[in-house]
Structure 1
């Protein structure tokens, strides 16, 4: 597929060189892996932070092996998605020399991010108290499954587990079968967003107080948040949300309908939208003014008959007919698309969501851009995710002043990996 990238997607346009980035001068030492931690630091890297990713020598972040894997890249597409704009340093944290180098890097940093199992960073001697002793103003972000304290701190957690335990899965799917998980790692992504927000808030607080702090974000707490207002509805009513498939329990008509050539979704979130749907799209002013359809609750109570009426009308014309009329009438609508259709859609192309960026090994790789748009501090130009330890030598020379002899000595001890018999072998 990569050989089609150049034909399908435009080269990423460079940012204005005269403008700064939002996090220019901020350094992040990133010990995280998989998605929640790395995607949080990708957000910071996009904003211009210097993110140094610490990885185990050789194998690196386990996400590198998630498919599809490109042999020339030596990692998979998911890793490429969540690790752009970072520099990789390979360190064996099981060796004292590896930990010593990590401590020196932390002493130069503004932020540390980790998402190991509870107790791991403490065993390395890299927990918050240890890092604060190295740099009192450090912001230390710990991403975990259930928090770093309490009865459940030792529990491992992954996105699907957070989905099921938070009640999120119970809300999704159809009433006649068990709940369905979201295939997208929505809890990892939302936890990453919360973590990056928390870090930005801590950086702002440090500007005022001069003090660093510990920041915690957990997958489970974020997953409960991602159930939306359902938790408040349950607390008020005592009733758990029911699975409604593609319809809405609160608004009607909202759901999937079939044109003569494809499926699409409409969302009538209020009475005015319903009236526009009936008068301007379907030419049925009689239904727009009917007392039995006058309010949302009334329409919800007559969902079956209303859906049957709409289904019959929509099936008579193609999507192009209905799309034009709904757009003109201001009725929220959208065609059901595959992922491939979505990223190649006119809307995605208009916003430049997918571009291509240079890569030394394969020429071009695709890039799914951040949705954040700054007028005064544009995001950093995207740089493809690094190979394991690709920047070890550059970073240690630049930040710590290591010379070739020092690098070669560390390589010989195995600090950069057991196979690193020389500075050259260790990508230094």
Structure 2
């Protein structure tokens, strides 16, 4: 879908690489600009998770891209990169605000050279404002945005989500913005600057509860474990006789039949939110009487909205997850089999493939420089001077 679109990527960590991988999966030619030491994610992985010498954190977000390893502080490197960007459709960067401007790759300068360029900046808080220079990281934004404070029961501390959901949503918003700008360019002939940041992504994830709050509704965390300040019961994770089960938005009339308990039918519709803790306690008592498996069969029969509370072992073996081909496996040189998440969208029933594996550092330096008109001798000289790093297979 994006064949013929060239993307120059100055990205590291998760938000940036994940955004560029989405574009690369769709056929864009993504050139990842790395220092001779390599991008941060090559040498870091959350739980020190490596397959062979390869960081899982790097492998999960860099397929279908090329690696150009070059010293950004070198004047020779700058002239090479400007030549590359002059012919690019998109530049995407996730450096601290102002960093690329100081290196001579700011939007104003590059847009003057290449008016069709779509320039996307991904940051923690935005390119301006009082928090501009603060470190932007998923957990910090979960806290700042109110997400952690909204999560958990009344007697529990603020609770973080167990994944980097803000990083990933920021990546999706960045990719979305780029695609919108490319479509706009088809109509106007002119590129633009796209900005996505983790703070906006964190707020966007909470579009529903924050909108309730902005319009005067003040909810409290539940004392009985309802999963949201703003929902009636049932809406939460409940104990069963042998584990847990999740029950969500289901009419009390249906619960009355499922639990064989007429008490639920005595609750007036306009009292359901005000009496939600009382209702939730009664649901909890019923659920404690049978096993999870028994409730799953019973709820299926009565059309109650429910789900098992899966750990990752159950998730990776889930029938629907497997049917959706949610995982991608490939053999990585020197490491062996690696499994990651596949592209999350299907197009005419198909998922984009891993056309190329996450690249070795500088794997494409020679080929990219060759397309810019440099000959072998010139490339060798640049490598000897430390301006570029060339991967030797």
TM-score, scaled relative to structure 1: 0.84
Q: CA RMSD in A?
A: 2.4
Q: Compute the displacement of 1:212 (Å).
A: 0.7
Q: What's the offset of the Cα at 1:374?
A: 0.9
Structure 1: runs of 5+ lacking an equivalent = 1-21, 418-422
- Deviation (angstroms), 1:68: 3.0
Query: Hey, what's the Cα distance between the residues in 2 that align with 1:150 and 1:224?
Result: 17
The Cα of 1:240 is off from its aligned counterpart by: 6.3
TM-superposed CA distance for 1:105, in Å, is: 1.6
Quickly say closer, same or farther: Cα 1:257–1:180, change in 2 above 3 A: closer
SS in 1 for 2:202: helix
Which moved further from structure 2: 302-311 or 150-159? Answer: 302-311
How many residues get paired? 390
The correspondence of residues 30-49 of structure 1 with structure 2, limited to 5 A, is 30-49=9-28
Deviation at 1:256, TM superposition (A): 1.8
Q: Would the alpha carbon gap of residues 363 and 130 (structure 1) be closer, same or farther in structure 2, given more than 3 Å must change? A: same
Contact 2:222-2:277 at 8 Å conserved across structures:
no
How far apart in 2 are the matches of 1:351 and 1:71? Answer: 25
Deviation at 1:128, TM superposition (A): 0.9
CA gap 1:214/1:356 in 2 versus in 1, 3 angstroms: same
CA shift, 1:369, in A, is 1.2
Alignment of 1:24-423 (within 5 A): 24-62=3-41, 64-66=43-45, 67-70=47-50, 72=52, 74-237=53-216, 239=218, 242=221, 245-249=225-229, 250-269=231-250, 271=251, 274-279=252-257, 281-284=258-261, 286-287=262-263, 290-292=265-267, 294-295=268-269, 297-375=270-348, 379-381=352-354, 383-397=356-370, 399-417=371-389
Report Cα offsets for 1:300-323 as digits up to 9, x if no partner: 444444344333433333322221
- 2:226 touches 2:280 (CA, 8 Å); kept in 1? no
- Deviation readout 1:357-405 (Å, 9 max, x if unpaired): 23222332112112211118852435432222222122222x3133211
Q: Contact 1:260 / 1:317 at 8 angstroms: preserved in 2?
A: yes
Cα 1:62–1:367 change in 2 (3 A) is: closer
The change in CA–CA distance for 1:98 and 1:71 in structure 2 (over 3 A counts) is: farther
Q: Give the Å deviation of 1:238.
A: 6.3
CA distance in 1: counterparts of 2:187 and 2:120, whole angstroms = 19
Structure 1 residues 111 and 376: CA distance shift in structure 2, 3 A: farther
- Do 2:346 and 2:352's aligned partners in 1 also have CA atoms closer than 8 Å? yes
Shift in alpha-carbon separation, 1:29–1:90, aligned structure 2, 3 A:
same
User: Within 2, Cα distance between the matches of 1:377 and 1:104?
Assistant: 36
Deviation at 1:116, TM superposition (A): 0.8
- Cα 1:403/1:56, change in 2 over 3 Å: same
Distance 1:39-1:409 versus aligned 2 partners, 3 A rule = same
SS of residue matched to 2:194: strand
1:15 corresponds to which residue?
A: none
Determine the C-alpha separation between the residues in 1 that align with 2:95 and 2:119: 13
Give, in angstroms, the shift of residue 291 of structure 1: 2.6
Given that 2:150 and 2:221 are in contact with CA atoms closer than 8 Å, whether structure 1 keeps it comes out as yes
Query: Equivalent residue of 1:237, what SS?
Result: coil
